[in-house]
Structure 1
């Protein structure tokens, strides 16, 4: 959620840190800061509430250095303020620390070790930097003091520490929170996300939980918890700087909505051969085929994609599928089947709630697959297998192309397993062809932006709340559509199973309440229309999104027909644009909704 950058060995540390923080803005934050120093021990600490632009205004020309760390903060302990912004300084001003994560035992640490310390803010990070000072004052070196602190701390963290008395080293450690070392020529960098430092290097070294790394301009040294040195090969980040630029688009979200046809075609290229046969690692197929139940573990948008995936997988493979929220499953694990297979869905591959489930399933020796956009991410590294989304970087907080990419990859996976099992439904399903059709239909829908914008102005301009309803996969789409609307436009939106309205929810319908009905399933279309009549008779302002074969003349949006198993890939697109235009028309920042972060790296 927060973002860390650091650099050692370059003259223009300030500029590089600011550029890195700007690349991490998509993750979400409420304050930011940098610390830089020079060989002559001239040092500067600059912090600001708000955006990186606000921080830049406070940086004067003399704020320069050859070593530095920077941070964007998403508040967990203490309200957003300049005092609570990172970097944090120890009482004796010797140590400077930035931190992502949450320290669970900060109160116990404060009581046991820091009774006589003064604190300027309310963060758990300030307690950690003073804990390091406490141990250093007993005669320990900085590295030993930090290592000792790590044995006391419980929780998630990514740390970057500078000792002002030794401006040749940055001390780095992590547990559950992502952090990478980037390798340069006579310089090295630190970052939460490779995108932050791609303009400096594309060679990165991963850090494992519990390791301590000393980063200097010409070398790095990784040590395990016992102090043993570890050599680890670097990897080359497969990202292009042009992929993370908006180009001519006003917002990343609009660009990413428009990316979706291209993403569908890229997925086809990656996972099918020249004759359209699905090509997926045979070990994955064998493991899933041998399982008696599939457990999909995810959060937020990925959780909604998991429900659509469940419908497709069960239809094509006849293997039962359960979909679970990561944050619930990890602490309330249900009785498992005898031979389960776990699929973890995550855009970033760094979702903390999902990772804590993966840690448990790994401990039980259960097979796992991560479906993610994040190559080299924690969930990818720690699962047995990975299928990449190949969607390109997703920057906007509101996920769009990752959702459709997850469904497409799960459909290809289901096809491969179904074919292996000899299921006729799967054999008859030409998924490569159908996804090609989907890509063309997506382009048709995207071309209707102005129509959708005008409809949004009519239905959502003054509303306080709204509802999406549907049945089956249309209900799953309704959940995701409502999430998109509420998270960026702040309209109180909910997605409901249409048949459940009369069991209590219809009490929320008032005169003029917008109700969006999604109709793509022939079996349930008439029932959903009946539910729409029920809410209309109670004053609802209905808005129908329907496939052409199921549409009526009075429907507001009519979508081209596609294969029944893949309708969510097209019915979700207008709802993404509805959320986009509702937010734009209300004057909010589409890409950076309040209180939210892109990569949720704390539980």
Structure 2
């Protein structure tokens, strides 16, 4: 997901624009640029690659100006070259853009036929030319924006600067978030509150279809029908300390180690220790009427949904479907008002998941969202918001957001079970006790860090790695494989351990490490049986289990990673820690970019 920041300042803005872009690096990007207005001209500096390349460009060729916009780009249309980097300029208009203009090709063809020359391969430059053509026809900037926005199909957040109006920035959003920051004699635009954290705490969030005319002294907001509207100003509470690595080498490692605290903070919102009950936020519907649950998410969040399927079906005896959001609408799912539709997203802006949410609502489905950003589009649109309290997650590969989502999913499963009369008071007390113990168990799991770092050196030389698990540990095997792929670029796959003999065992030899997630319990013996079948064919096994499990099956493994003994309910939260640490240490051993892996964005806001 690209990043935007704009400043209408009282002094030169280049340094602050760069600082804002640094706060947005966690989103992932492959080029960056800034533009300012000074001495009656718009001037730009752009660079492919990391932000330091742009900083070096600015050091050699500074960019003055009290009005400016800046951008980190994740390539969609066009390669990550300097020509394709934002900002883009056409005539007297300069623009930065998050999202994707789906109808850019016919618009581009129209503009070329009108004699306009394009310098990039991007869809964004089309918007700049449309606006510039309006300006050249004598249309004022506000009217030009009002004329052009209805012609754009797709998803966008825009920040627009006009050469002849240095006291004006225009922002617009449709399907991608955009924030207005209110300062003292200054005002700002940003992708999120974190981008503006060093500038202001006073924030307003544009709603779907809104656009805003921002000057140093005022902000005017209009809805998609160009009618003036008011959007509430809130205090963001976001600080620069939230994106400080502290003593950790990488944000990912810091966020792994934050998990016991943030999971505890999240569970405080869902547990009533005195009453020994699991709670949900106040809702306007009755969970006992739910006949089916549909969970929709992408990537790591989808594995939360898969774990939730095990929990909800076993505790509440409700049928559960789990869908990738990118596939959900296109298979024409059967939906009705007896369904609870659950979306899961860290950002609350994931394009496929947001579209799935709206599709469910249009078909009469009651919706709930497990979301980390309470001001996001999904958070505002679901019928029941179930917030996580992970705080800003900077590393692209999700860690603490994932485990907080698991904690909330466990609370939802318990509430559904109680509403359906499937949960006795004794069973609920047991669940409360186990969830209360989860943060301490996760903290104990962090003690395996050194052991995992040692085995990571062996794993880092592999071309392929397999992960095995049964029951709720099967989705955790999928998550472990995804984490390894994301940040170390090693091909990895997760399997339900019983499926090995149905094909994947053909992949096994002495060069394919096998990571086995097998807490002692009802499924342990069967998992170990599958593991031993692989060992008989030369597999190099890393067994992640508790002391009991390692004592029974740790022989002939190249390494064993000991976890605390925990109840099956919280095992996914605890076993998330070693698979995250393994991916982390393998990536460090390989020397890859842990926090900003290639080709990935923190939040995917285009389909």
What is the match of residue 598 of structure 1?
A: 602
Q: Could you tell me how far 1:167 is from its partner in structure 2?
A: 0.9
For the 8 Å contact 1:13–1:66, the answer to whether it is kept is yes
| Deviation sequence 1:342-400 (CA, Å, 0-9, x none) | 11100111111101111222222321111111120111011122111111111101111
Structure 2: state its 5+ residue gaps: none
SS across alignment from 1:36 = strand
Q: Could you tell me how far 1:219 is from its partner in structure 2?
A: 0.7
**Structure 1 residues 347-358: aligned runs within 5 Å:** 347-358=346-357
What is the match of residue 283 of structure 1?
A: 283
Between the aligned partners of 1:295 and 1:75, the Cα distance in structure 2 is: 32
What is the match of residue 455 of structure 1?
A: 455
Between the aligned partners of 2:536 and 2:106, the Cα distance in structure 1 is: 58
**Structure 1 residues 454-493: aligned runs within 5 Å:** 454-458=454-458, 460-493=459-492
Which of 581, 584, 593 is equivalent to 1:577? 581
For the 8 Å contact 2:337–2:365, the answer to whether it is kept is no
For the 8 Å contact 2:448–2:561, the answer to whether it is kept is no
What is the match of residue 96 of structure 2?
A: 98
For the 8 Å contact 1:481–1:576, the answer to whether it is kept is yes
Between the aligned partners of 2:363 and 2:237, the Cα distance in structure 1 is: 32
Q: Could you tell me how far 1:557 is from its partner in structure 2?
A: 1.6
Q: Could you tell me how far 1:274 is from its partner in structure 2?
A: 4.7
Between the aligned partners of 2:537 and 2:69, the Cα distance in structure 1 is: 58
What is the match of residue 177 of structure 1?
A: 176
What is the match of residue 443 of structure 1?
A: 443
Q: Could you tell me how far 1:187 is from its partner in structure 2?
A: 1.1
| Deviation sequence 1:188-213 (CA, Å, 0-9, x none) | 11111110111111111111222221
For the 8 Å contact 2:467–2:481, the answer to whether it is kept is yes
| Deviation sequence 1:144-194 (CA, Å, 0-9, x none) | 222222121111111111110111111111110111111112111111111
What is the match of residue 548 of structure 1?
A: 547
Between the aligned partners of 2:602 and 2:443, the Cα distance in structure 1 is: 26
Between the aligned partners of 1:478 and 1:562, the Cα distance in structure 2 is: 18
What is the match of residue 414 of structure 2?
A: 415
TM-score, normalised with respect to structure 1? 0.96
SS across alignment from 2:538 = coil
Shift of the 183–530 alpha-carbon distance from structure 1 to 2, 3 Å rule, reads: same
Q: Mean Cα displacement is larger for which, 326-335 or 358-367?
A: 358-367
**Structure 1 residues 214-233: aligned runs within 5 Å:** 214-233=213-232
Q: Could you tell me how far 1:26 is from its partner in structure 2?
A: 0.2
What is the match of residue 162 of structure 1?
A: 161
Between the aligned partners of 1:113 and 1:44, the Cα distance in structure 2 is: 24
| Deviation sequence 1:516-551 (CA, Å, 0-9, x none) | 111126332222222222222222111111233433
TM-score, normalised with respect to structure 2? 0.95
What is the match of residue 431 of structure 1?
A: 431
What is the match of residue 592 of structure 2?
A: 588
**Structure 1 residues 229-240: aligned runs within 5 Å:** 229-240=228-239
Q: Could you tell me how far 1:499 is from its partner in structure 2?
A: 1.5
What is the match of residue 14 of structure 2?
A: 14
The number of residue pairs the alignment matches comes to: 598
Q: Could you tell me how far 1:453 is from its partner in structure 2?
A: 0.7
| Deviation sequence 1:278-321 (CA, Å, 0-9, x none) | 3322426x433221111111000100011111211222222221
| Deviation sequence 1:75-107 (CA, Å, 0-9, x none) | 0011011110000011x3x11010011111111
SS across alignment from 2:474 = helix
**Structure 1 residues 141-540: aligned runs within 5 Å:** 141-275=140-274, 276-283=276-283, 286-336=285-335, 339-424=338-423, 427-429=426-428, 430-458=430-458, 460-520=459-519, 522-540=521-539
Between the aligned partners of 2:547 and 2:590, the Cα distance in structure 1 is: 31
